[in-house]
């Protein structure tokens, strides 16, 4: 560990306030002058000081001797090292979560459950990358008893980096799917990348919670030799069943608590049977940490999805399932097949393209369109270049979301169940406003 990290940590402890955006400085902040492809935070280091920052951490030699500037060889590395130094001071369980789908929902469900017994910190929003994870770790205060850190990645080696910063003592991979194939190269690349979490925790003799009902995860567990460090679960472990019932397609989960034989039903506000694995993960972890089962049920029933994740909206015109925070072939197919099971008089699917698929894009968009067409939707609206050339005559295609917005405004959809699913970069939320 470089000597400057200990000194920087001492300064951090004075107020525990960090900023990476010079436009949002508050008094006493430590400003980290990060660099990117189109910006250089060093340029704004002195401005940050004028706005009230206590310190600007810089890696521009021209600023080395400027008052208020703290020079380091690499600002990003310094931020990551500072976060890891802070982590080493924390004597608490840290749960790391990654996966192709469901990691944010699982994180939020876990937080709700564990908050019934502990003071919990959980990653805010999507701060799950090489910058977000260190910022999350540095946000853990001394009164926190359990921390949950979400880790995202789109290339091999990133999860290992994030795990080396957060040093999770427990880990969950929600599932493995065809996501970020452009960066991972293949499905095997996805497995390798996500499996870095298992490897990191195994090296520290930590514990993995694993859904061995998922054959890919079961195979990965054996590969990493973690059987003695793994707490397993699946639908059989809980004798669990999932159903969608009632006027609104919310998930109900019936299960039996293995330790007591107590049977319970959890009435969630989650849309989609594919959320069963996320619910079971939260129950398994909650029971391990000795949260009372009635409190676990209360927590899960009280969770309300937001931010376009498995979210159901009742508008004046329609019932809308919004699952447009992100999309990949695995999550897209699951959402569509769940939508296909709903019984209603009129169904409309509004699908945005799936980004970051690289050479797999054409094949996967055609496959997903075939799935959508098999469901008997009254209308399928496609948005984005990924679907270009794959749409059929009975579908409507738009190159850009703004064109779709114009169409929906001029041709209102009324009295329908509508699925809105696509990658975040497509901005389908613009269409949701008109439904």
**Whether residue 133 is found in the same domain as residue 59:** no
The domain tally of the chain equals: 3
- DSSP class of residue 192 equals H
Q: What is the CATH number of the domain that holds 382?
A: 3.90.190.20
Triad 419, 423, 427: Cα angle to 5°:
80
**Whether residue 140 is found in the same domain as residue 49:** no
| β-strand pairing of 263-271 with 250-256 | antiparallel
Asked if residue 177 belongs to a domain, the reply is: yes
**Whether residue 270 is found in the same domain as residue 318:** no
pLDDT digits (tens, 9 = 90+) for 326-346: 788 888 998 899 888 888 889
Look up the domain containing 340 and give its range: 311-432
Nearest CA-CA partner of 281 in 208, 196, 199: 208
**Cα(4)–Cα(49) distance, integer angstroms:** 20
**Cα(233)–Cα(235) distance, integer angstroms:** 7
Asked if residue 206 belongs to a domain, the reply is: yes
Other beta carbons within 10 Å of 132: 20
pLDDT digits (tens, 9 = 90+) for 43-88: 999 999 999 999 999 999 999 999 999 999 999 999 999 999 999 9
Q: What is the CATH number of the domain that holds 10?
A: 3.40.1390.10
Question: For 371, phi and psi rounded to 5 degrees?
Answer: -60, -45
**Whether residue 69 is found in the same domain as residue 132:** no
pTM higher than 0.75, yes or no?
Answer: yes
3-state helix, strand, coil in the chain (%, to 5): 40, 20, 35
Q: Among 284, 302, 320, which residue terminates a domain? A: 302
Q: Is residue 1 very low, low, confident or very high in pLDDT (cuts 50, 70, 90)?
A: low
Q: Among 73, 100, 129, which residue terminates a domain? A: 73
Residues in the chain: 435
Do residues 148 and 122 touch, judged by C-beta distance below 8 A? Answer: yes
Q: Among 272, 302, 332, which residue terminates a domain? A: 302
pLDDT digits (tens, 9 = 90+) for 186-195: 778 878 888 8
pLDDT, residue 226, reads 59
């Amino acid at each position: 560990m470089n000597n400057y990290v200990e000194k920087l940590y001492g300064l951090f402890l004075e107020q525990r306030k960090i900023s990476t955006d010079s436009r949002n400085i508050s008094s006493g902040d430590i400003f980290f002058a990060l660099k990117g492809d189109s910006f250089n935070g060093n340029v704004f280091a002195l401005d940050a000081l004028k706005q009230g920052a206590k310190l600007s951490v810089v890696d521009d030699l021209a600023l080395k001797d400027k008052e208020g500037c703290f020079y380091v060889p690499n600002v990003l590395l310094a931020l990551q090292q500072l976060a890891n130094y802070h982590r080493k001071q924390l004597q608490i369980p840290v749960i790391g979560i990654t996966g192709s789908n469901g990691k944010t929902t699982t994180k939020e469900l876990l937080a709700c459950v564990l908050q019934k017994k502990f003071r919990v910190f959980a990653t805010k929003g999507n701060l799950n990358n090489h910058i977000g994870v260190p910022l999350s770790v540095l946000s853990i205060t001394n009164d926190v008893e359990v921390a949950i850190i979400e880790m995202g990645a789109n290339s091999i080696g990133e999860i290992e980096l994030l795990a080396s910063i957060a040093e999770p003592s427990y880990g969950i991979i929600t599932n493995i799917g065809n996501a970020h194939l452009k960066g991972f190269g293949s499905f095997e690349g996805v497995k390798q990348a996500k499996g870095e979490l298992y490897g990191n925790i195994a090296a520290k003799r930590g514990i993995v919670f694993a859904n061995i009902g998922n054959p890919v995860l079961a195979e990965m567990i054996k590969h990493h030799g973690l059987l003695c460090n793994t707490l397993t679960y699946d639908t059989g472990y809980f004798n669990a069943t999932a159903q969608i019932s009632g006027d609104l397609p919310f998930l109900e989960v019936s299960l039996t608590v293995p330790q007591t034989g107590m049977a319970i039903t959890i009435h969630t506000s989650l849309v989609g049977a594919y959320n069963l694995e996320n619910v079971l993960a939260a129950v398994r972890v909650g029971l391990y940490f000795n949260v009372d089962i009635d409190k676990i049920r209360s927590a899960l029933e009280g969770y309300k999805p937001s931010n376009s994740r498995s979210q159901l909206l009742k508008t004046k015109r329609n019932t809308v399932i919004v699952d447009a925070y992100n999309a990949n072939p695995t999550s897209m197919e699951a959402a569509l097949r769940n939508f296909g099971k709903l019984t209603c008089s009129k169904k409309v699917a509004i699908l945005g393209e799936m980004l970051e698929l690289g050479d797999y894009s054409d094949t996967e968009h055609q496959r997903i369109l075939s799935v959508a067409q098999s469901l008997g939707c009254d209308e399928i609206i496609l948005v984005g270049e990924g679907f270009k050339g794959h749409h059929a005559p009975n579908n409507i295609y738009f190159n850009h979301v703004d064109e779709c917005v114009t169409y929906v405004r001029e041709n209102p959809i009324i009295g329908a169940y509508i699925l809105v699913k696509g990658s975040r970069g497509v901005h389908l939320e613009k269409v949701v406003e008109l439904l």
